[in-house]
Amino acid sequence: MNRHVVLFVAIIVVILSELLAQETKTKAPPPPAAPAAVDTRAKDRTAIRETMAAFAKAFEARDAKKVAAFWTAEGEHQTAHGEVVRGREALEKGFSAFFAVTPEVQAEVQPEALRFIAKDSAIEDGVVTIRKGATDGPSHAHYRAFLVREDDRWRLAILSESPADLVSINDLGWLIGEWKSTSNSGADIQTSYAWDANKKFIHVQFSIKEAARALSGKQVIGVDPATGAIHSWTFEANGGIGEADWSRDGDHWVLDAGGTLPDGRTLKETNILRRVSNDTFTWQSTQRLLDDNEVADLAPVKVSRIKTEK
């Protein structure tokens, strides 16, 4: 993911501590990359992207006839609710009925992968976000579009949708409370997680104390309404800032992270938060780039809940 963080869950402070405590040994720059292969389907790729974008605009305009025209005459729409509509005429009637009870609608198509399976056919996968009015929350669905070229125009032969497997900020509710850990350099780190008033965001306070210095900062974790994914924003007391996209992978979370250190250097990395139990998790930083120079991975750090007596 594409949006990043410098410090997260307080353990990122460990990373900064390590960076400041030791000299960074960077690898020699790699040899120049070979020239990229020519994309022989670049024109078709662009045409399909433009087709899907135009489809979304027609949908937002609530023009049922124009929307249905993006399908082939025998085209098929498989909705996220399991309904199947076949044929352009039936599609137009279906969209007319939908628009009749939906006076305001917005659509955002986010393509993720496109592959060509023949000269005149292709499959595109992505996520579509629908918003009905200003007060309704967005709905998300995965889509797979089977497109064919007819009369030099790309059309939908089959458009299938399935519910998006989106995460909830409640999936991180087990973090609420106080935590502590100790870095390899001996620094004591404490972190607290607390809900905001509406339980839409988790507010994080972190601090690190060692003999020579002390650091602190804040972080906000929540669901980005533009993507439906968990995102975090981090602010160091000494000026560092960053962001991260969170995604679940089995029993752990992967954070595509990056940001800017107080001295202006950039840091990008993949951070892994692995839940061991309700009272323990580990944190590790990998694939690190400091100003585009590779930096060694850090070993996992154990983080434990501070239990209070009842």
pLDDT tens, residue by residue, 152-193: 999 999 999 987 766 778 889 999 999 998 766 667 889 999
Secondary structure class of 8 (helix, strand, coil): coil
Q: Give domain 12-26+167-305's CATH architecture.
A: Beta Barrel (2.40)
Q: What is the pLDDT of residues 81-129, one digit of tens each?
A: 889 999 999 999 999 999 999 888 988 888 888 999 999 999 999 888 8
DSSP 218: E
Q: How confident is the model at residue 54 (pLDDT cuts 50, 70, 90)?
A: very high
CATH 2.60.120.860 fits 42-163, yes or no: no
Poorest-pLDDT segment among 30-39, 51-60, 183-192, 218-227: 30-39
Q: What is the pLDDT of residues 216-229, one digit of tens each?
A: 899 999 988 877 78
Cα angle vertex 296, ends 187, 278, to 5°? 55
Tally helices (H) and strands (E) across the chain. Answer: 4, 17
Q: How confident is the model at residue 3 (pLDDT cuts 50, 70, 90)?
A: very low
pLDDT for res 219:
96
Domain range annotation of the chain? 12-26+167-305, 42-163
**Residue that wins the pLDDT comparison between 273 and 213:** 273
Residue 255 CA to residue 6 CA, distance in Å, equals 11
Cβ–Cβ < 8 Å for 118, 147: no
pLDDT for res 31:
63
Give, for 52, the enclosing helix (H) or strand (E).
Answer: helix 42-60
Assess whether pLDDT exceeds 80 at residue 292: yes
DSSP 174: G
**How many CB atoms neighbour CB 267 within 10 A?**
25
Assess whether pLDDT exceeds 90 at residue 36: no
Give, for 96, the enclosing helix (H) or strand (E).
Answer: helix 88-100
Residue 17 CA to residue 205 CA, distance in Å, equals 17
DSSP 223-287: EETTTTEEEEEEEETTS-EEEEEEEEETTEEEEEEEEE-TTS-EEEEEEEEEEEETTEEEEEEEE
**How many CB atoms neighbour CB 150 within 10 A?**
12
DSSP 20: H
Q: How many residues are there in the chain?
A: 310
Residue 291 CA to residue 299 CA, distance in Å, equals 21
Q: What is the dihedral of CA 107, 144, 118, 54, to 10 degrees?
A: -10
- Beta bridge partners of residue 110, listed in sequence order: 127
Secondary structure class of 169 (helix, strand, coil): helix
